[in-house]
Structure 1
Amino acid sequence: MRLVINVVILVLGATASISHNVVETLNGAIRGKLVRDLNVTYYAYLGIPYAEAPTGQLRFKPPVPKKPWNGTLDASAYGPVCPQDEMYHKRSDMNEDCLNLNVYVPARPALAPTPVLVYVHSGELTLLSGRPYVLGPQFYMKYGVLLVTMNYRLGALGFLSVQTEEAAGNAALKDILLSLQWVKKYISQFGGDPDNVTIGGESSSAVLVQYLTLSERSSNLFHKASIISGSALSYRFFNRHPIQSALELGKKMGYHTEDPNELVRKLQEADVFDIVTAQGDKTNKRNGFRPFAPFTPVAETPSPHAVITQHPLQIVNQGIPQVIPIISGITTQEGIKMLPFIRQNPILAVHLNENLELCIPSDIEYPYGSRESKDLANSIKQFYFNNETISNTTLLNFVNLVSDTQVTYSTDRWIEIYKNMANSDRVYYFVFDFDGDLNWYKLFSKTQFPGAAHADHLGYMFVTNTTRPLLLSAGAESKQTIQVVLQLWTNFIKYGNPSRLTSLTCNIREEWSDCGTQRNYLALNNRPYMVPGPPLRRRLHFWRQVYAQYESYVARGGGLEAKTP
């Protein structure tokens, strides 16, 4: 790692001291800064472009690697974020020239190259960025891990597909792939180990990580994966009808052509924020139970640039392309994330009670109103609600239904398939069940409900904007949970084994072992322990039967109705 110290600025009375330094790469020199924050010191190289601006005719296309620059790149401030709704970022921070990444390096002597964590931000494929809104690096700097985060294209800009070369789809996956290639090529010059890279994600980004593990194009770009509360097998993140979604977007924007290539040309000429606005209504028109974007990964037409050309289940049934150590798991109450939505939209409960067919996952394409669809809706009502209606007294039942359909079943199914097909003895399964002072989602959404919600673990894994003010005042058990989570995850990042070199001071008194064919799991909290698996056995069995019946129906030639995520 070549560092040239140019300037040192000490600000009296401030919380940070900053120094500028330069790293030489084949693309050009990069000047970062030295940061001291939360009792840890690290180098930060921010907003490094890894691709050319995906504008004009490059919109919807695979990213083009950034050309070398002259002089020294100032990487002391974050670069633009990708265009999106103004929920987390201001419009002034957005620009279509957003394909940049951030490198955080522990500022302490290293006897060997530093293990690398490449973390993909979540946000339902439409929001957030690689900035530290929820991905503050300080914890990993303390534990001696180099952290890389990146931006990738969002919404239609990242996932629109018309199944031709004009817009093949999965542009966002290709962005992440290019950033991984950048890490492979350049991270050693920052002191990182290109042969010890872990990729991580949660929720929608866990899905993207899992897609990359299924692509031969990512071979040797990472060596371990952390996949939390998300699965490529989820109905939410695979679009079987991408051309339909693209044409619907075009009509929203006043383009009434049925020619997909002509539509792409019009969209390439459109103002980028007009596209963001047109896709802004993320709620499925027919089903408020699924407020998700229609632009998700797709099966591409085979080509040299294709990342995924089949449904993920087809891929794994043919064999696992990459067998690597995996951490994967869920929270106890993933479905809490839907409570603010249903509380703010009470009419949703009315609609669901009138037609529980709306609760059926969209990858079960029974025609609405058919006998099969109605029978399944009745089975759901009986199993989850004991034939009662959705109301304040049955919110836990509703949370369980959301948890199982959107996260839990597909995550567990993936772990089972991976374990059986990969023949790996390093698959580590967990259920995060800690309900403490730093549960991110419940703090962010101001939701009070027992259990660990979707994304609640983030408060114990990263410094987030929401939890940062509470770090000092958090209770002892919450601080212990931070220690436990970071000790386990950084062990995994460094060694591929979360239980290696654990400390009794972190309350880790039991080895986190491979899940085995029984899918045994770690109850993840301030005092973790192993539990015979699988979790939620009865509920998972219900959905296993549901999908088996549907597959039998399809095999018999049953009629189907196209549904988007």
Structure 2
Amino acid sequence: MSFVRIKMYIRIVFVLVATVSYCHGYICDAILVKLPQGTIDGITSISGNGKEYYSFQEIPYAAPPIDKLRFKEPQPPTPWTDIRETCINKKVCMQKNESALTHVPSDMTISEDCLYLNVYTPQKPGTSEQPLPVLFYIHGGGFFYGSGARQYHEPKYFMDYDVVVVTFNYRLGPFGFLTTADDVIPGNLGLKDQLYALKWTVENINLFGGDADKITVVGESAGATSAGFMQLSKRTEDLTNEQLAYFQNMLDSNLNLTVHPRLNINPEQLSQAAKEYKEVYTKTNFSDDAAAYIKYIGEDVFSTPNIHHAALVSKKAPVYFYEFSYRGQMGVQDLPVFPGANNVGHTEDLHYLFGGIEGVSEPLSQFPDEDRQTMKKMLTLWTNFVKTLNPTPVKDELLNNVSWPMMKCGEPLNFLSINRTLVPLVNPKYYTKVKQVLDKYVKPPYYVY
């Protein structure tokens, strides 16, 4: 998970209109907002603590990318004249359901017409209350599956912490990332959708009680990568045992594959670099040491580049890094256990932030108090950052009176271990040892890390 604060200054005038509308089996609640393209009607929902909040789902932030707009950059949405019902999510972007790790719910449709976003706010639109900070969430899924729909990421727990939440879909797979390296099919359309959704948010979020000057971009997995891309962009100034075996044997038979092919290493030094890289994790074969392989693949794909990115960014902006290591009943329950490897899975922290199929959909009352307390800690840390750019701005008994230290490049790398207690630590994972190997062998120009 990554945090990025985007600060922009755009002013919008809004008007509210009162009427009644209906939504395909859901009764909208005449919670009306007039957008530049037309008026939308939302629905009143109930937060985790039983407080009313206001949902607007499937708001078009761009024109449907179909027909002549297929494989083109996102374009402005088409205006509408009738009141548009926005109280249910029905569409996800094109994806192969059979290969998606999270399958599309039966009440949703896979469609090319999918560029919609959702706004959830505890503040009734049209009131004169103080604008609230905004959490702009980018869903994960390896850039080939997933959705920002409510069925995936239910924001009801965030609504008790006085922040506005925005989630959205972006084009996936070949529809979002195929390119002919020219104007016929320009590259990274999915990322351009994300930027378009952010631009829409900056221009319109004040209509929902959000503060356009306090937008924090948050992402998980591919979404965290996207948040990092946004930070760098000038435009914004889970394997089965049969598979955890195939790749282990492949790496054992060709040691050079342990090193990313885009790392710029002298071919004559590649074998030695790969040997030293592997020996950070094990001095035997990966096929004989499953725990070492799990650590290697998790860090090589996820944590090492994330830590490196965070360390570099810490030169320019406040960075708070964490490791989620709490193992509770609210988390993923069907993970295989390998002695010596960590037993908390990728995406498990989402279960302590969201409802829905990517979070926790069961009643919270059925989980142990320790799980519910962990959820409170997570939500408090996240929303504190969204509000103040500091996850622990004051001493808080819920947070064990801990001050989460910032990561500072050039110093031992501070991070927070989030477990049954919150513990500040330094130098996460095997990053320091990996960095010593990479710094020894990798030469400019730098393409990956």
TM-score by length of 2: 0.84
Hey, what does 2:9 align to over in structure 1? Answer: none
- Report 1:394-405 matches (<5 A): 394-405=289-300
Does residue 1:430 correspond to 2:322, yes or no?
yes
- Counterpart residue type for residue 226 of structure 2: L
Give the Cα–Cα distance (whole angstroms) in 1 for the partners of residues 128 and 271 of structure 2.
62
Hey, what does 2:8 align to over in structure 1? Answer: none
- Counterpart residue type for residue 300 of structure 2: T
Whether the 8 Å CA contact 2:74–2:196 is kept in 1: the answer is: yes
**Which of 404, 408, 422 does residue 528 from structure 1 map onto?**
422
Hey, what does 2:5 align to over in structure 1? Answer: none
Give the Cα–Cα distance (whole angstroms) in 2 for the partners of residues 365 and 154 of structure 1.
29
User: 1:163 Cα deviation (Å)?
Assistant: 2.2
After superposition, the Cα gap between the structure-2 partners of 1:509 and 1:172, relative to the gap in structure 1 and judged at 3 Å, is same
User: 1:148 Cα deviation (Å)?
Assistant: 0.7
User: 1:43 Cα deviation (Å)?
Assistant: 1.2
Give the Cα–Cα distance (whole angstroms) in 1 for the partners of residues 402 and 416 of structure 2.
9
Hey, what does 2:3 align to over in structure 1? Answer: none
**Which of 29, 35, 40 does residue 45 from structure 2 map onto?**
35
Map Cα deviations across residues 229-266 of structure 1 (whole Å, 9 max, x no partner): xxxxxxxxxxxxxxxxxxxxxxxxxxxxxxxxxxxxxx
User: 1:356 Cα deviation (Å)?
Assistant: 3.0
Map Cα deviations across residues 470-519 of structure 1 (whole Å, 9 max, x no partner): 62222222111111111111011112221125532x13311113223422
Identity %: 26
Q: Helix, strand or coil for the counterpart of 1:489? A: helix
Does residue 1:93 correspond to 2:109, yes or no?
yes
- Counterpart residue type for residue 183 of structure 2: E
Hey, what does 1:226 align to over in structure 2? Answer: none
Report 1 or 2 for greater relative contact order, CA contacts < 8 Å, sequence distance ≥ 6. 2
**Which of 147, 154, 175 does residue 193 from structure 2 map onto?**
175
Map Cα deviations across residues 418-465 of structure 1 (whole Å, 9 max, x no partner): 223x1x4x22122222122222xx33x544454322211111121232
After superposition, the Cα gap between the structure-2 partners of 1:470 and 1:359, relative to the gap in structure 1 and judged at 3 Å, is farther
Task: Single out whichever of 22-31 and 446-455 deviates more from structure 2.
Answer: 446-455
Hey, what does 2:273 align to over in structure 1? Answer: 376
Give the Cα–Cα distance (whole angstroms) in 2 for the partners of residues 541 and 462 of structure 1.
35
Does residue 1:413 correspond to 2:317, yes or no?
no
- Counterpart residue type for residue 301 of structure 2: Q
Give the Cα–Cα distance (whole angstroms) in 2 for the partners of residues 490 and 17 of structure 1.
30
**Which of 154, 177, 190 does residue 159 from structure 1 map onto?**
177
Does residue 1:191 correspond to 2:215, yes or no?
no
User: 1:190 Cα deviation (Å)?
Assistant: 1.4
Whether the 8 Å CA contact 2:140–2:220 is kept in 1: the answer is: yes
Hey, what does 1:457 align to over in structure 2? Answer: 349
Map Cα deviations across residues 146-199 of structure 1 (whole Å, 9 max, x no partner): 111111111121122222122221211111111111112211111211111111
After superposition, the Cα gap between the structure-2 partners of 1:58 and 1:8, relative to the gap in structure 1 and judged at 3 Å, is closer
Give the Cα–Cα distance (whole angstroms) in 1 for the partners of residues 91 and 224 of structure 2.
23
Gaps of 5+ in 2: 1-13
After superposition, the Cα gap between the structure-2 partners of 1:383 and 1:196, relative to the gap in structure 1 and judged at 3 Å, is closer
- Report 1:109-508 matches (<5 A): 111-219=129-237, 337-338=238-239, 341-344=240-243, 346-364=245-263, 372-391=269-288, 394-420=289-315, 422=316, 424=317, 426-439=318-331, 442-443=332-333, 446-448=335-337, 450-465=342-357, 467-469=360-362, 471-501=364-394, 503-504=396-397, 506-508=398-400
Q: Tell me the matched-pair count.
A: 420
CA RMSD of the aligned region, Å? Answer: 3.0
- Report 1:35-114 matches (<5 A): 35-36=45-46, 38=48, 39-86=50-97, 87=100, 88-89=103-104, 93-107=109-123, 111-114=129-132
User: 1:205 Cα deviation (Å)?
Assistant: 0.8
Whether the 8 Å CA contact 2:263–2:448 is kept in 1: the answer is: no
Map Cα deviations across residues 119-172 of structure 1 (whole Å, 9 max, x no partner): 011100000011134421111111111111111111121122222122221211
Whether the 8 Å CA contact 2:136–2:218 is kept in 1: the answer is: yes
Give the Cα–Cα distance (whole angstroms) in 2 for the partners of residues 549 and 35 of structure 1.
55
Give the Cα–Cα distance (whole angstroms) in 2 for the partners of residues 17 and 446 of structure 1.
40
